[in-house]
Structures are given as structure tokens and as C-alpha cells.
Amino acid sequence: MNTLTRLHVACRLMFAVLPVVTLTPNPVQAVELMKWERIPLQVTLKVGQERVVFVDKNVRVGIAPALKDKLRVQSTGGAVYLKANEAFSQTRVQLQDVENGEIIMLDVTAGEKGSAEPVKLVYESGDSEADASPEQADAAKEEKKVSYSAPLPVLLTRYASQRLYAPLRTVEPVPGVRSLPLHLPSRITTLYPAEPLEIQPIAAWAVQSQNVVAFRVRNMTSRKIVLDPRSLQGKFVSATFQHRFLGLVGTPEDTTMLYLVMDSRPENALIPEAKVSRKERGKHHAD
């Protein structure tokens, strides 16, 4: 067989194989839609195969201790990735919205048979706004008025207290609540000058134009201190202590929390800390 003939045969073989490779369709994976209506959603997993739940919210995931080695959970960018390492019966998994505290419940089961297609959560008011034009969406938001069960200072104080003291599943959601960055000193000395207290800002949240800041308050003396909100210095809408008094320093009762609700930014509501010059700071260290 001469060179030209061999080349002709090779070309025929190449074009006979190529269509088989290039025309093979890629599998298209369907997405299962699940509507969240405050009823736990059933999610089945196949052991050893990962399944994605598109939440479209920034969430924290809470799982039962019994699932620690049985279920791998990863959460990022509004998606939760679930992979079962072994079979387990129906177990509750909680997804908490970081912004408003709302909890979405999944009843997860894993076995040899299960779906691998992604799950997308649909919310009661989510789709209509997503499909509307920008003008229609803005109008819908204007018309949508949020009603609260109590005055905002009460809701914010209760929310902050629950976030710091209560279990995750018991935190009552507050529509529109969001975390607030703190631009405050690590120690606040101007807030309660009547007593030698150590006061530290811990966290802050906001709803509409009102903010709540949680402070850790610690007694630095060897005597009991009765806390009086009237001794606080600054511009506040409301002030609430977690406990009415502080025990002696070194006892379990020497620390409590203070919740301040304000109309302005926290750094504008507090009296500024006195600035210490380098000369005074050096003198202090020398002493």
C-alpha cells in the first residue's frame, strides 16, 4: 500500500470516529423546586453522592450531633452542599438566615437510593418579584409594608438577647434585620462613668433606621453594683440590662449584657473617648 492510499484510509477512519465523539450529548441535570411554606422540606440523599440545595440566602447550618460523622455539610454563596457518608433515617437540618434570623427546616434522609439533582428553594414572595421588571419590582417593594408585632426597640432588644443567649432554633425572626459593623473602641469608658465597669461592644443589628448594640458589662470592684439605666451617658432610644445587678468581681454574677437601641450610628450615639497623647501614654507606662 503506497503512502497516498494509507493517508486516504486514515482520513476515512478519522472522520468515521469523530461524529461519535462530538455528537454525544452532555447530560442536562434537572433542578427540583421546593416551596418553603414554613413546613419542613423532605430532602433525600444517595450515600456517597453530593446534592446541592440552592437557598439564595446567606445561611448558617445547624445539624444534630448524631449526624456529625454521617453527613458532610458545606455552605457558601447561598448554596448548601450535602453529602451523606452513610445511610441514616430522617433527621432535621436547620438553615438560619444570617440577616433576619429566619429558620428553614429540612428533613434529610440518606440511603442507597436517592436523588442527586439540585434543589432550589422557592419562597412565597420570591418568584413574582424576580420575574417583574425593575420598575414593577420597585413599586412592589414600595407597596409592601412590613408590620411588626411590637415596637422596634422591643423587637431589637429581644432579638439581640436571643442571639446571644438562646439556642439557634428559638431565635424569633425580625423582618429586615441585618448585622451592623461596629466602629467603636474595644473598651468604652464614657458610657457608665458612675461606676468602675469594664464595658465592651460585642455585636450590633439594625432594622430600618434603628440600631441595637450589645455590650458586655463587667464589675471590676469587690462590692455588689446595682445597675441604673439613668446613669448611662449618650443618646439612646432605650436601654436594657440583662440583669439588674452585678456581683463581686471574680464571681459568676460579675458580668451581664447591656442592650442600647439608638436612632443614629453607634459611634455617633456614644460620648467620644478621651484621646491620650503619646506623652501621657509614655508616662503611664513608666509609672
DSSP-assigned letter for residue 286: H
- Residue 260: count of CB within 10 angstroms of its CB: 28
**Residue 138: how many CA atoms within 13 Å on its side-chain side?**
3
Buried b (16+ CB within 10 A) or exposed e, 126-141: eeeeeeeeeeeeeeee
Confidence of residue 125 (pLDDT cuts 50, 70, 90): low
Kindly report, residue by residue over 129-182, the tens digit of the pLDDT.
Answer: 444 445 444 544 443 567 788 899 999 999 999 988 887 777 888 888 888 888
